[in-house]
Amino acid sequence: MERVCVTGAGGYIASWVIKLLLAKGYIVHGTVRDPCNEEKNGHLKKLENAEERLHLFKADLFDNEGLRTAFSGCSGVLHIASPVPGTLQFDDPQTEILDPAIVGTRNVLNACLELKVKKVVFVSSMVSAMLNPKWPQGLEMDESSWADVDYCKTNERWYALSKTVAEREALEYAKKGLNVVTICPSGTIGPMLQPTVNASSLLLLSYIKDLEGRSDGTKKTEDAERAVVDVRDVAKAIVLLYEKQESEGRYICSSYSLMTREFVAKVQSIFPDYDYPQNFTEPKITERALFNTKKLLNLGWNYRPLEETIVDSIKNYEEAGLLNTDGIPTRAHPPYCLGYKLQRICG
């Protein structure tokens, strides 16, 4: 059986990728900070076929020896581990987000080169394509659109900068003989396998539960354009890119683009009894989130209806008790812990 390693195994996207790989018969290696931490990683061990074919390894993105150990014997590496913040503000962006994403990716790819891994799928983000002020207004962004590095620095968009630089470096490794494919998912929502709430799920939760005191009528919600995709469809796309020999270069992965007000109305039409935003305001910065996914669709990818994602997400939150309790468990590790809004989520 073929062996594949998934970095950041306990995270949101990575957990669904592992579930899919196990269902398809792979032996899966997963990197985590602490394999014995049942609170953070116990959900992985409960997946079907995990007992026989899932092996967790202690490693982080700065642990070169741990990465090499985890990748040993693997024909592929799916690099998902990266800090995913719930805020744009950082005390020390270099240490908090840039180094983990950029240097960490470099460490992963160097280990893959050394071990002669056959193929790497690097999970980037829509922001590496989206923050491009030179892109024609109203034109769907495709794989040729890259975030402007100077724009990211000037506007302190550190997460976008981290993903853009890391992705560009990853694609450069193809010149060194490593087969690297990258994927840029949009805002990822859908049911969670992990016990803690990731940043993109927290955003959806904020629309249906008053997390920030909007009940007094003074809190306004920005009516920004949102591009979204189901986490299960992202997992499917990542595995598809790995398995398809003809996959190459970069792929946009997004299903729907709609304004926040429109998205909230759609959720409310299905689940009318929750506490939804009523007051919307124009966003301070207008950034389009309109994407062209033809390249990925032509490879054989498909996605589910948005209504299915909404229903499965809300039912998942209800079953987890997130909508009837005050506490929302988030996964936080210093220096990323800034309350519920910011988590160090790998994937």
| Residues catalogued as catalytic | 163
Concatenate the DSSP letters of all residues of 30-84 into one string.
EEES-TT-HHHHHHHHTSTTHHHHEEEEE--TT-HHHHHHHHTT-SEEEE-----
Burial 232-265 (b: 16+ CB within 10 A, else e): bbbbbbbbbbbeeeebeebbbbbbbbbbbeebbe
Q: Which two tokens stand for residue 197?
A: 């709430």
- Cβ–Cβ < 8 Å for 288, 221: no
For residues 18 and 12, give the distance between their C-alpha atoms in angstroms, rounded to a whole number: 10
For residues 186 and 253, give the distance between their C-alpha atoms in angstroms, rounded to a whole number: 6
Cα 317–chain centre separation: 18
